[in-house]
Structure 1
């Protein structure tokens, strides 16, 4: 039986700020996401990272997403510099990626810093040495398995999905966040857990970009861990809890929410985990 990640588990991973902290000690996330076709993904991921709690976001992307990010979050730094981890790929398409962009992403993926790999960068996660968290949905997971030479599968139960994610994580040498109404988080060490989405209202465009930003923030700002699995699972739990809080504001049965609504509720989810568990 697969264990379920809880607020108590998240509380052990999250680290509240202290009087001794500064913006660097609270974590700096480098972000290379978004494109002219999907500039909103950059805005959503950056917004979520800030809302989850860290010291700084460095956004390094195309000019259109950069302008939109700065309009939304002027505190974002848009020049290169030191970071403690990366988020790449959200709102991009591998088919449209330039050789120059590919080279930059490959350098990130061959470094020593942890990298959250989403959407259009998933294909690059195969030949990489950096500690990685990949965040595929069902179809992306199937494509990833094909690239790894793993047998095609159509897992239906959570136990089957967990077994599939564990196999992928072992072959890839990276933590897998297999997204769904119940998200499976599996590490190459054999560690696995499940995280409930909290509310079906979360199934809406852009929430995956918010999830990636939340995971990135936890990776650079949370308690240190040898295994990225608990960090990833904590980001997933915060995302689901934020969605429940946002939907719950609309009544006992919940109501329609947007990706930005989820991001806006992330501080409440973080505070709930840090201070009440």
Structure 2
């Protein structure tokens, strides 16, 4: 299958696209988000904030009352009515064991549709048998649980080569792109294409940063799907196309974490919170786009 590509700003620049004078909110991408819960409402706000800060054209948020209130208080431009989207983010800030039946039906409906889906946290249990093009975003414990559920053996979560092999195996078994979070993030597709992303800061290991990553990824997927639709490119994205997009999202997330940590420490890395990472995303996006010029 070959070596894993180490993802750099040059690779990220090839995936990103700056808006032009001919763009509107739909050509820039509309991401739908079914995230957060009354128990974990902050996850919704963090993911929505990150999607906006990454440069998506519109965010539609569909969730419970408490997270909806938080989202609108922070980002009043967010649309909270159902409607047209070009990609979905589901599961962030949700507990599969506590998920209500209507939410399970809604997420299953999304996973049996044609639009690309970012599947995070509390929706990972639903991904087996999905029809939609998916990229899943587990951390090590979630990945181990998912592999056990589909009958795959346990893998060494500390050894990078073992993580690469496991991510490839999971991607092939589920026919999805896998973004395996960690100090070095591994991205793999069903055909075995693999990237490693080591653009990061240890200060990113804090609550809520995974919700930010899901929002970044959702924004990029929606933008890429919008461009496919605009160009009349068949059925749009598939799991293979989602691989480089996921690697770019991980690169931007890590870059924003580094920017935020240096801001916090006034030039030296210092402690950050998840919202700091979302706030630093425009700088990370701008730096990546500059590499394309």
TM-score under structure 2 normalisation?
0.92
- Of 21, 24, 30, which residue of structure 1 is paired with 2:23? 21
- Once residues 159 and 251 of structure 1 are traced to their aligned partners in structure 2, the CA distance between those partners, rounded to angstroms, is 36
- Once residues 147 and 105 of structure 2 are traced to their aligned partners in structure 1, the CA distance between those partners, rounded to angstroms, is 23
Instruction: Write the mapping of 1:165-204 to structure 2, written as runs, cut at 5 A.
Output: 165-204=167-206
Is the partner of 1:149 in helix, strand or coil? Answer: coil
Is 1:232 the counterpart of 2:234? The answer is: no
How much does 1:2 deviate? 2.5
How much does 1:197 deviate? 4.3
- Once residues 114 and 146 of structure 2 are traced to their aligned partners in structure 1, the CA distance between those partners, rounded to angstroms, is 22
Is the partner of 2:6 in helix, strand or coil? Answer: coil
Which deviates the most, 187-196 or 219-228? 219-228
- Aligned twin of 2:34: 32
Is 1:215 the counterpart of 2:229? The answer is: no
Asked if the contact 1:155–1:164 (Cα under 8 Å) also holds between the matched residues in 2, the reply is: no
TM-score under structure 1 normalisation?
0.97
- Aligned twin of 1:99: 101
Asked if the contact 1:180–1:197 (Cα under 8 Å) also holds between the matched residues in 2, the reply is: no
Which consecutive aligned stretches of 4+ in structure 1 deviate over 4 angstroms post-superposition?
223-226
- Aligned twin of 1:273: 288
Which deviates the most, 193-202 or 12-21? 193-202
Is 1:245 the counterpart of 2:259? The answer is: yes
- Once residues 195 and 56 of structure 2 are traced to their aligned partners in structure 1, the CA distance between those partners, rounded to angstroms, is 25
Is the partner of 1:184 in helix, strand or coil? Answer: strand
- Aligned twin of 1:256: 271
- Once residues 144 and 5 of structure 1 are traced to their aligned partners in structure 2, the CA distance between those partners, rounded to angstroms, is 26
- Aligned twin of 1:65: 67
Q: How many residues align?
A: 277
Asked if the contact 1:133–1:175 (Cα under 8 Å) also holds between the matched residues in 2, the reply is: yes
- Once residues 102 and 262 of structure 2 are traced to their aligned partners in structure 1, the CA distance between those partners, rounded to angstroms, is 44
RMSD of the alignment, in Å? 1.1
Which deviates the most, 246-255 or 260-269? 246-255
- Aligned twin of 2:119: 117
Is the partner of 2:247 in helix, strand or coil? Answer: helix
Stretches of structure 2 that go unaligned for 5 or more consecutive residues are: 229-236
Stretches of structure 1 that go unaligned for 5 or more consecutive residues are: none
